[in-house]
Amino acid sequence: MEARLKDMPFWGYGWLDVAIYTALFGLAFAAFYYALLSVSRRRARWPSLVWKRWLRRQRVPKVWLRLLAIRTDSPGVEYKRQLLARCGVRFDAIGYETGRRLGMVGAGATVGLIVFGKRFGFSERLDAAGLPPVYVLLIGSIVFLLLVADRVLLESMGKYRAQQIMKEIYTLSHQLLYYNGSKMNLHHKLTRCLPFTKMIRQELQLLLNEWYAGAESALKRFKERLGTEEAYSFGETINSIRLFENNDYYSLLRERLHDYKEKLELAKDSRKETTSYALFVIAGLPILNTFRIFIYPWVMEGQKLFQTLQ
C-alpha cells in the first residue's frame, strides 16, 4: 500500500478521501467547540433567530464592494432590495449582491478551468478524484446562468408570492366583512381571522402582538414585512377602519375585495394561457420525433440523389 501511494501522484489520488476526512475533522471540532460552550453558558432559546440577527448586523467590507464594483446607492441595488422584500426574503441587498457576484466569479472560474485547463491536467485530476468533469461543467454552467438571471427569478417568485398573499387578503377581507356590525373591536376581529391565514399568519400574528404598543406603527411594519401592493392597500384600509370605525370604510373594504377578485381572475386566466402554451410545446415533441424517424431519412436520400444528378 505504501509503495502504491509513493507511485501515485499527489494531485491525482485521494481527493475524495481528503475531502471526507477534512469534513469529519471539521464536524468533530465544531461538536467539541460547541460542547465546551454549552458547559460555560446557557444555550440560546432560539438559535436560528440569534443566527439571523447576527447575519443582519454584519456589514460587507468596503474592499469587497470596490473589487466587485458594487455601489450602495445604485438603482440596481435599490431594485434588488425591493425584489427581495417582495419575495419575503429579509436579507440585506448589499450582502445578497456581494454573494451573487462572488458565486458568479466562482462558477465562472470553475467552468473556465474545465474548458481551458486541459493542458494543466485539471480534468484528469477531477476524474481521478471521482468527479466527472462533464458534471462539474454542467453544474457550474447552470449555477452561473441562474446567478446571471437572478432578477428574472426574483420577479417570478415575487409575482407568485404576491398572488398567494392576495388570496389570503381576499379571504381575510371576507371574514372582516362578516364581522361588520359586531361589537368586537378591530383587534378582536383580526384575531378571529387569524386561523384563515397560512402564508401571512406570522406577519398577522406579529401585527396583533404589536397592536397595543402602537397600532399605526404595527400596521406600517406589517406592510413592510409583506412588501406587496395589496398588503399596502389592505393596511391602509385597516388603519382607516381603526381610526373611524364607520360602516362607510367597510364599504371601502368591499371595493378592495372586488378589486382583489378581478386580479385573481386575471392571474388565473394568465396561468391557463401559460399552461396551454406549455402543453402545445409538449404536444409538438412527438411530431418532431416522427419527422426525425420517418421523414428525415427521405430528405437525406433526396439530397444524395440531387447531388449525384449534378
pLDDT at residue number 19: 67
- Give every CB contact of residue 231 below 8 A, 6+ residues apart in sequence: 165, 169, 200, 222, 223
Alpha carbons 240 and 253: distance in angstroms, whole number:
10
pLDDT per position in the chain (310 positions), as tens?
A: 444 444 444 344 455 666 676 777 777 777 776 676 555 444 445 555 555 665 666 677 777 778 878 887 788 888 888 888 888 777 788 888 888 888 888 888 888 877 776 666 666 776 666 667 777 778 888 888 888 888 888 888 888 888 888 888 888 888 888 887 777 888 888 888 888 888 888 888 999 999 888 888 988 888 888 888 888 888 888 888 888 766 667 777 777 777 878 877 887 777 777 777 777 767 766 776 676 677 767 777 777 777 777 6
pLDDT at 5: 42
Please give the pLDDT value at position 121. Answer: 67
At which residue does the C-alpha cell 454542467 appear? 138
* Exposure b/e, 4-26, CB count within 10 A at least 16 = b: eeeeeeeeebeeeeeeeeeeeee
Cα 138 to Cα 46, 108, 121, 132: the distances in Å are 39, 12, 19, 10
- Amino acid code (one letter) for 223: K
Here the cell at position 102 is 462572488
5 vs 2: CA distance, rounded Å:
5
Q: How far is CA 62 from the centre of its chain?
A: 26
